[in-house]
Chain A
Amino acid sequence: MKYVKKWVAATTLATILLPGVAVPETCVSPYIKGLRQPEKVMYLWTLPASSEGADFLSVIDVNLASPTYSKLLRKVEVGSVGNEAHHMGYTDDRTKIWAASLNTNRFFIFDVATDPMNPRLIRTIDNVSQLTGLTGPHTPYAIPGRILISMASGPDGTGPGGIAEFTNEGEFIASHPAPNHPYETVIKPEFNRMITSSWVSQKTFMSPPSKWDPKDFTDTMEVWDLKERRIIQELKGDPIPLAARWMLTPNATYGYDISNGASTLWMFRMEPNGSFSYRKAADFGTGCGPGDLRQSSDDRYLYVSCFRTGEIQGWDISDPEHPRLADTVQGIVQANMMHLTWDNRRLYVTNSAISSIDYSPRYMLRLIYIGPDGRMKLDPQFSIDFSKVPDGPARPHDMLLN
């Protein structure tokens, strides 16, 4: 027995020391199979800049060794217009992508396993609002064998929304009502806790900002007992808490989210008695208007995109209670969605939020390199100009790597 223990200890050490061992991809559901090697392809959920033309999945070569590196290889159109392509999510086994449409409440399911370089649309669910009683689908989020989708509003595009639950294949299971307008979902399985952030109703976010009614803004996050699908606590903070990230260390009790309305970083923490505390942790500066929040896999850095100022901020959270601005990158007008690679070294950035609030027609995909010290540098070469893609300008939003 002693021999076995020594052997296991030695082999454990060997595991740690072996080069090339992948770490989990961040900002996706913890139930999703991890990426085990550098990415080769990016899927980018894209919508035409004009009201004509179908939304499409852009397939982009991100394989450094490829002769077509940094090129848009193909577009997989969904066959319908006006969907407002926005967020996507893998199923737990990473074989399918669920892509949601903010405006038409459709779900598009792509097969990315059969031929990862040639995704195939295998199902479109047109009657989501009838099935779920909900509208404004935002982020698909995997749990074993199923997908949860945060839905902003009720059946007519106003009022509170909820969480819709489907099988991976697209069969409706149930809807779980929420008192606000759910935006994004984050789950910490160790604690059986799910947190949903919130924003505005579908009717509001599909209108020009000049018509937005502040009364429709939410300032709450809901804490759920995941297994019971039951809300157990509401956290109240600054307006429009968008992206939320729970730290990845096993049993980590805390995480962060961004307030779009107040340009602030908030910290949530599960206290020893199981209840959650919620407090402001940092200020991004006047006019930031944060659009996305990403985390490094070692729980050391957060990355924030400032939609209004075109800045990417890197925050050192080694001291979790006292985040420190470590570095910034300027020059990505209306910076919005980001995606950090498995090795924490490359950060992809797109710059379209929603057609109703974009303020620049210079749509692009850019790449930022991140050094071991957290310093960031914009790649001067990697740039896909979506305002000049074939068949007309397009707005790039959410990304997934494979």
Chain B
Amino acid sequence: MDRRARTTCCSISATTPEGGTTRREHRGQLVVSALLGASLLAASGALSFAHEANQRLSAGASWRGIAAHPYLTVIEAAPAFTLRDTANHQFALSRLRGRVVLLSFLYTSCTTTCPLLTQRMALLSDQLKKSELWPSSVSFLSITVDPDRDTAATLVNYARLFDAVDPNWWFLREQTSELRPVLAAYDEWTKKLPDGDIDHPARVYLIDRRGDIREIYGISFFDDRQVLIDIRTLLAEPK
């Protein structure tokens, strides 16, 4: 069953071949629509980014460029880190060695790309479950770049919005002083904008079972179908 996300200018939806929507997709549609709509109250700069991202994502409805045999060479070793999960327990990246990891950076008051990305990742987790790769072989990490506003409770609420409360998907945070070097190691700079938004690169990293970065995705062209193939490709490699 193809439950591919379909985006339009300012809303996101996903359909079954029968034209229906699942509970996760229906909720995601409402959440992303509301968050993107809220962006209209923000500065025109943020608006332009939202529009640009949506315009690009809208192209995804008919993407024909899925690669069956992706080139996934080692880009570099994934920088190690230890942060805190929403239960305030320490969480080290090394704990996931032996699993393929998808690592994203976001902040929950983001009204542009972050909710779109989280929705895409949620859809991808559905695909992984159907493929019986979740939770056995793949994990997701989402690190907030805004720890001052994103408390543990805020992150939990955000995960609930996307049906992303899952023991295999960790939302991580840390005090700013301890988070800063982790963000720097991933070249994830942040810049606070006058309207309260945070400008940040919002790249997504695919990390293999040995702890090496094998692909970097840009949010504007993040295609969960291709990421699924990339994950399968890494899992097919010898351990």
Contact = CB atoms under 8 A, between A and B. Distances in A.
Q: Do A and B bind each other?
A: yes
B133 interface: no
Contacts, number: 123
Contact of A173 (B11, B59, B73, B203): B73
Contacts of A34: 48-49, 52
B66 A144 contact: no
Nearest to B26: A1
B10 A12 contact: yes
Interface string B164-202: 000000000000000000000001010000000000010
B37 A8 contact: yes
Nearest to B57: A250
A229 B71 CA distance: 6
Interface stretch (B81-89, B120-128, B140-148, B215-223): B215-223
Nearest to B29: A4
Contacts of B70: 227-228
Contact of A8 (B11, B44, B63, B76): B11
Contacts of B189: 93, 95, 113
Interface in A147-173: 167-169, 171, 173
B96 interface: no
Interface residues of B, number: 45
A193 B67 CA distance: 10
A167 B212 CA distance: 14
A8 B54 CA distance: 13
B224 to A, nearest CB: 14
B218 A92 contact: yes
A14 B44 CA distance: 11
A381 interface: no
B67 A173 contact: no
With a 10 A CB-CB cut-off, give which of A24, A33, A146, A169 has the most chain B CB atoms. Answer: A33
Contact of B221 (A145, A171, A174, A190): A190
A145 B37 contact: no
Contact of A191 (B64, B74, B187, B203): B64
B238 interface: no
Contacts of B226: 192, 227
Given A24-B52, A30-B56, A93-B187, A36 B64 contact: no
Contacts of B217: 144
5 contacts: A8-B11, A33-B201, A93-B187, A167-B75, A192-B63
Interface of B: 9-11, 30, 33-34, 36-37, 40, 44-45, 47-52, 55-56, 58-60, 62-67, 69-71, 73-76, 187, 189, 201, 203, 216-218, 220-221, 226
Given A191-B65, A251-B59, 9 more contacts: A11-B10, A11-B40, A15-B10, A22-B45, A34-B48, A144-B203, A145-B187, A191-B63, A274-B64
Interface of A: 1, 4-5, 7-8, 11-12, 14-15, 18-24, 30-31, 33-34, 36-37, 92-93, 95, 113, 143-146, 167-169, 171, 173-174, 189-193, 225-230, 250-251, 274
